[in-house]
Amino acid sequence: QAKDGLTGVSICRKCIAPKPARTHHCSICNRCVLKMDHHCQAAWLNNCVGHYNHRYFFSFCLFMTMGCIYCSISGWEMFRDAYAAIETYYQTPPPTFSFRQRAFHKSVVYLWVLCSSVALALGALTLWHAALITRGETSIERHINKKERQRLQKKGKVFRNPYSYGSWDNWKVFLGVDVPRHWLTRVLLPSPHPPHGTGLSWDLPPCVSQQRAPLLAI
């Protein structure tokens, strides 16, 4: 919101204000979002994923996927027994299952199918974002960089992402790991630490040892 002294790469045509690098206008939120990745319309978020909550979004996807995989694996035997019991409902003579037992069988089948489906769908989304983080990109930048890479390739030039510091350093920047002990205090344990930078400018993070190649390399 502070516009004074802000170096804008461009001007947002809708906000009529300087738009810093990696900032994009969200038509749903009707505002510019720092380092915008995407607008998540899912019931659990219903908000933009950007500079200040991207790490929380990825952590949620990762832990939810791991939880669903755990439930699917540990509940496989119960699912198989419940499914076999449901197949006997229409036999002659019918089995003597009570209403509570039938409800339990159907609930176990529903639980396993739901957890397995979420694990597959959310697991694919988690892998996609893990690949983006490894390359130092957001979902929006992925499409922009792809077009820019193709355009420069026709001119005999090579595109270099100026916000990528290498696969390992990109993860350190994303997770906020400045010293080795942060892998425990900031990654394995819950931590409310803010992300690197303000989102208005992109200086070299302290955890990165050296500057990478510039935007364009002939």
| 63 domain residue, yes or no | yes
User: Quick check: 12 pLDDT over 90?
Assistant: no
Residue numbers of the domain that contains 118: 51-175
Give pLDDT, residue 5.
Answer: 52
Assign 74 a pLDDT band (cuts: 50, 70, 90). Answer: very high
| 15 domain residue, yes or no | no
Q: Total structural domains in the chain?
A: 1
| Cβ atoms of 50 and 58 closer than 8 Å | no
What mean pLDDT comes out for the span 104-130? Answer: 96
Angle CA 123–169–152, to nearest 5 = 85
Question: Hey, which residues are catalytic here?
Answer: 40
Residue pointed to by tokens 């509570």: 100
User: Quick check: 61 pLDDT over 60?
Assistant: yes
- Helix or strand holding residue 120 (H, E): helix 99-135
| 62 domain residue, yes or no | yes
Residue pointed to by tokens 């002939």: 218
CB-count burial class (<10 Å; 0-12, 13-18, 19+) for 13: exposed
Name the residue among 32, 77, 78, 38 with its Cα closest to residue 54. 38
Name the residue among 204, 27, 45 with its Cα closest to residue 125. 45
Residue pointed to by tokens 């420069």: 152
